[in-house]
Amino acid sequence: MTHQQIIDYCLTKPGAYIDHPFDPIDPVVKVKAPSQEKGRIFAIPFTLRGEPKVSLNCTPETAELYRGIYPGAVTRGWHCPPVQQPHVNTVNLDGTVPDEELYIMMDHAYATVVAKLPKAAQRELKT
């Protein structure tokens, strides 16, 4: 799966949008309800040492599950401070993780972040 395919899929989610909080070139995908001023990141496509990767939010339990199923291909969020690492997985986009599984992981990332939004914002995104 390519970075563009990841971005395109993530943008199908209610309230999802592209932002560039780190630099003007590399995009991240955030979600926010219409009434919110700021969004929250749920997907970060990036390249590290020439290899395409994506970091996705997750619950600590799901993070450990995927790291166990795909050792080496799914790792702790490399860019995150240690306190956030249990809540983010970095996935190699080298084909080790099947595309079908990546879609499930992106859905989970979105749902995980939306669940952390205020209840009113969650309701806005469901309508």
Check: CB of residue 76 under 8 Å from CB of residue 63: yes
Residue 44 in domain: yes
Which residue range(s) make up the domain with 118? 3-122
CA separation for the pair 103, 107 (Å, rounded): 6
Residue 20 in domain: yes
Global confidence as pTM: 0.93
Q: Indicate if the pLDDT at residue 85 is higher than 80.
A: no
Q: Indicate if the pLDDT at residue 83 is higher than 70.
A: no
**Torsion angle, alpha carbons of 86, 91, 96, 100, to 10:** 90
Residue 27 in domain: yes
In this prediction, residue 94 carries a pLDDT of 96
* pLDDT tens-digit map of 90-103: 999 999 999 999 99
In this prediction, residue 31 carries a pLDDT of 98
Residue 127 in domain: no
Residue 107 in domain: yes
Average pLDDT over residues 98-125: 96
What CATH number does the domain containing 8 carry? 3.90.1150.30
Residue 24 in domain: yes
Into how many domains does the chain fold? 1
